[in-house]
Each structure stands twice: as C-alpha cells, then as structure tokens.
Structure 1
C-alpha cells in the first residue's frame, strides 16, 4: 500500500468515526454534516454513507420524517470508542481556550459551564526552556519565589508534574543536593544554563508507584456511603488509585485526606492506608539520601 493509499484509508476511517460519533452523541446525522466537516462533495458523502452501511450493517437508519439518519436501536460502533470522560475533557478544553471550536463535532454545543480556573498560566517561552533542560539534562538558573524568599537557584528539571491545580517541574536542586518540586509559575526569570550531574534513578519518590485506597468516610451513613462509592466509581468499598509517590502528598492535601477534624459530610472520603503512604514517602526520601551519600 502506498503512502497515498494510507492517507486515503486514514481519512475514510476518520469520516466513519465521525458518522458514529454523531449517531452516538447527537442521535442524528445529515449528509451535509460530512460535507461541511470534511469539505467533501455531496456524491462523496453519499458514497461514504453507502460504504459505511456495507461495513457495519444497520447501524444507521434513514428517517424520512426528519430527513436524516438516526442510530439503530442496537447501535454497535466499530470506528468510534464512546468515552464520556474524553467528551467532557474536550468540552472543558474548549471552554478554557485550549481546543478550537472546530475540533468539537457538535453541530450545536450543549449549554455548559464550569467554575473558573484561577491558576496562573505558564509562559510558553519559560516552558520551552524547561523542556530543553529536561531533554538535554541541563541545570538552569531560575529566580524562584517561594513562600519564604525570592532568590536565584540552579535546578535541573527531569520531568513535569501536575498536582490538580498547578504545574511543577520535578528537578534536582543543585544547591540542596536533593530532588524537589518547583512550581513553574513561581519562576520569575530564567538565566544561564549548564550541564547537570545527577541520576534520575536516585529520585526514589518519583520512580516509585504507590497505591492509595480511597474509601467513603467511616462516619457516613450507609446511604451516604453508597452515593460516594458511586461518585468515585468504587468497586466494593474502596477505589485503588495508582500514582507516583512524589504526587501522593499533593493528592492527599487536595482531597483533605490528612484532616481528621472535618465533619463526615464535608470530608466525604478517607484514605484507608494514609499512614502506610506517609511511611513510604519517608522511606523513599531516606533511601534517596542514602544513595546520594554513597
């Protein structure tokens, strides 16, 4: 198969995916939807619909009353994987300006609103330098504003991490001789760069995957606990959540899992293995310190 054949095959598959998306999420498809979205002719749209029906059987039915195609009662998508999480993420990305309107396949976007995102946006030029430092294993001199002071620091980022609110660079702190998280939006300026000397394997917190067991707060009634289990997709009485150990602290703080004085209805969830995770963090830091001392 030639490169042109591959491209034609991909674009046709994409149009078939669009057909199923419209049928699944909007329950309606017009020939003009294909024409407008992919800038194809009416005859080509008709051919696409015929070919689609030949490959999938009776997934779509023509409704003469509304003069449009509608999904069959037993619609079985072959080119499209239905994901509510993906669709809601796309709507959120569109609302914050990260996704253009034309990338949403809705003919009319449903009414949607979200609480404002108050985090600061990362400057593209700054992120570009950080990505280069990660790629080339460089240390960069940054004017960093912490909660206690503002000073120049040499840091060697090796990864990016998002804590649910803010973006961090996971980095080797050259002045402290350990691995730390630096909030990217607290970097005021970036100065010179130089080669860095560190081993990512020594960042035990980053390299360790831990499991947090999230459960309904024990102070809730059974009816309330059932609602929480449904909210969080818990199987049984808990949900196991895997993450890098270096991010567990932020997750615990964001979910108020370290506070034992909140009313059950306010807390809603608890961390079944909180003490175990705290111990893992302490042991990982101790192991990193031991390695660096050797």
Structure 2
C-alpha cells in the first residue's frame, strides 16, 4: 500500500491488493475472481468492488461490452506496491517449485520457463543447528569437507550469506582465529554446541560495505556499450552497487570481473574500481585477524 493511501480494514486490504494486482498485470477482473480467490459470496464481491471504486475509482472502469472491470488508462495503484522484478522472481520460484500456483494470482498463467539451476540441497538438520548456534552465540563442531581436507572444525557462526550459487555460514573459525565462510552443503556431520567468546563486530569484511562501479567493457563498440548500459540500468555509463566486502569477493569471481583475457563481447562489463575493492577486502581481513588475536575464542 502506498504511503498516501487510506487504510482499508484488515479483511479488505488483501482484496484491494488483489484487485490492483489483476488490474496491473492482466488489465481486468470479474466478481467471480474475488469469489474464487477469497471464498466469498457474489454479494460480498460486489461490495468489495464498490468499496474499491469509492477508494480508488480513477483506477477502474466497467466495460459493458466485455462485461468485466478493466484498468483505466491512467491507473495509479494505491494499495499495491508494483514491482516487475518481484513478479519475475515469483515466476522463477514457481517454476522451481519453491512456491505454489496460488501464490502468483494470474487467472491464466503465461507460458514461462527458466534455465535449469544446479540445486544444492542444504540438509534441514544442518540449517537448524547453524541457526541455533547463531541465536545462542555458541560454537558448533562440524565435520567439513573443503577442497583441501576433510576434518572436524569448530566454528562460531553469526550470519548466513548467499553468494549467488551457494549458501554459507559466516563464522568465526576457532582454529585459525579469523572469520571465514563455510559452505552449508559441505557440512557432513554435526558435533556439539559449546561456549564461544567472539565479537561479530570484529568481522570487518562482513560489517563494512563498499561501492562497486560497473561499467561497459572498453573494448565494446558504441552500440554494444549502449546496449550493456541499458541492460544493467547504468547511469552516465556506471552502475553503482553497494555490498558487503565479504560478498564482493564472490560477486567479482562469479562475473569474472578479475579476468582480463575474455573477449569484450563475452565479458560485457568491467569493474572500474577493481583494485580499490580488492585492496579493501585484503585490508579488512588483515585488520579483522588482528582484532581476533586477542579474543578468547571457543572453549
């Protein structure tokens, strides 16, 4: 609901949002749509539409030829926060089985598909235990499989992070006395919780953010550069993205922003302040480790 909108009753609010959703994304609706969605009677659906027209009559018209309500040409939603990105994310989640069909209230679902994703299933017990450790501010023993070894590690997680492909536990490593990321799907077994003394504020790569400056690859033609600027919603040739230092590392790797040998048409973008970001990541890690040297750690 927009800030200047009247506040409908608790029962009416979701119905007003639904009315505007259908008007925005399908352009029309009938009384029967409200009846089916909310399990209400035809008289109640008529009352809801009358109430909506009293509150936002400029948004809706009745088309006698089509025998249904349609979106007005100058519609300005008052009870729905409209987001194309949110709808597309919902469609993606629907195709991937994350949400149900009713969560996307199209009367007729458009044909939609997404490229297959490599799903990394996190075990429920792993996530439950990590969340418990975060809430209780305790350490947990994990049998962890890294690329170099498989062994028990004592870690004290304080946050969860998604790098675009995998979920991590952001945690204080009791052995190395520094903050690191642990991929949740690589945790094979769980040990016991134990007391831990650490300060998440000392995780400077997590606590501090930096602005990344994305720009078109300089090797692109003018027409190609303009296409990339539009694709990435750049302003004056730059897309500014703020993120945590710990996630900036993964962002750079995922988009190959630290590789200079790619062809311009394949690379498409460059990070204008790559050296600044990399230096900030290294500096945060060094300073954070110095702060952790004095902590009591895990017991």
- The match for 1:130 is 130
Worse-matched range after superposition: 56-65 or 253-262: 56-65
- The match for 1:281 is 281
Question: Distance in 1 between the 2:193 and 2:289 partners?
Answer: 25
Post-superposition Cα deviations, 1:146-191, rounded to whole Å, max 9, x if no partner, equal: 0111111111110000000000000001111110000000111111
- The match for 2:297 is none
- The match for 1:89 is 89
Instruction: In structure 2, list runs of 5 or more residues that go unmatched.
Output: 1-6, 295-299
Question: Distance in 1 between the 2:11 and 2:185 partners?
Answer: 40
- The match for 1:216 is 216
Classify the secondary structure of the residue corresponding to 1:156: strand
Indicate conservation of the 8 Å contact 2:24/2:71, yes or no. yes
Offset at residue 104 of structure 1 (A):
1.1
Instruction: In structure 1, list runs of 5 or more residues that go unmatched.
Output: 1-6
Post-superposition Cα deviations, 1:39-81, rounded to whole Å, max 9, x if no partner, equal: 1110000001011111112311111222111111111111012
- The match for 2:22 is 22
Q: Do the aligned partners of residues 231 and 91 (structure 1) sit closer, same or farther apart at CA in structure 2, a change above 3 Å counting?
A: same
Q: Do the aligned partners of residues 234 and 8 (structure 1) sit closer, same or farther apart at CA in structure 2, a change above 3 Å counting?
A: closer
Question: Distance in 1 between the 2:162 and 2:95 partners?
Answer: 19
- Map 1:35-184 → 2, pairs under 5 A: 35-184=35-184
Question: Distance in 2 between the 1:42 and 1:292 partners?
Answer: 66
Indicate conservation of the 8 Å contact 2:232/2:239, yes or no. yes
Question: Distance in 1 between the 2:219 and 2:175 partners?
Answer: 46
- The match for 2:266 is 266
Q: Give me the TM-score of the superposition, normalised by structure 2.
A: 0.94
Q: Give me the TM-score of the superposition, normalised by structure 1.
A: 0.96
Question: Distance in 2 between the 1:84 and 1:151 partners?
Answer: 45
Offset at residue 292 of structure 1 (A):
2.5
- Paired residues, number: 288
- The match for 1:248 is 248
Offset at residue 290 of structure 1 (A):
2.1
- The match for 1:12 is 12
Moved over 3 A (4+): none
Classify the secondary structure of the residue corresponding to 1:188: strand
Post-superposition Cα deviations, 1:207-256, rounded to whole Å, max 9, x if no partner, equal: 00111000000110111011001111111111110000001110000000
Post-superposition Cα deviations, 1:111-138, rounded to whole Å, max 9, x if no partner, equal: 1111111031111221111101000011
- The match for 1:3 is none
Question: Distance in 2 between the 1:193 and 1:199 partners?
Answer: 17
Question: Distance in 1 between the 2:191 and 2:290 partners?
Answer: 31
Question: Distance in 1 between the 2:147 and 2:51 partners?
Answer: 62
Offset at residue 8 of structure 1 (A):
8.1
Offset at residue 101 of structure 1 (A):
1.1
Question: Distance in 2 between the 1:8 and 1:84 partners?
Answer: 24
RMSD over aligned CA atoms reads 1.2
- The match for 1:33 is 33
Indicate conservation of the 8 Å contact 2:213/2:273, yes or no. yes
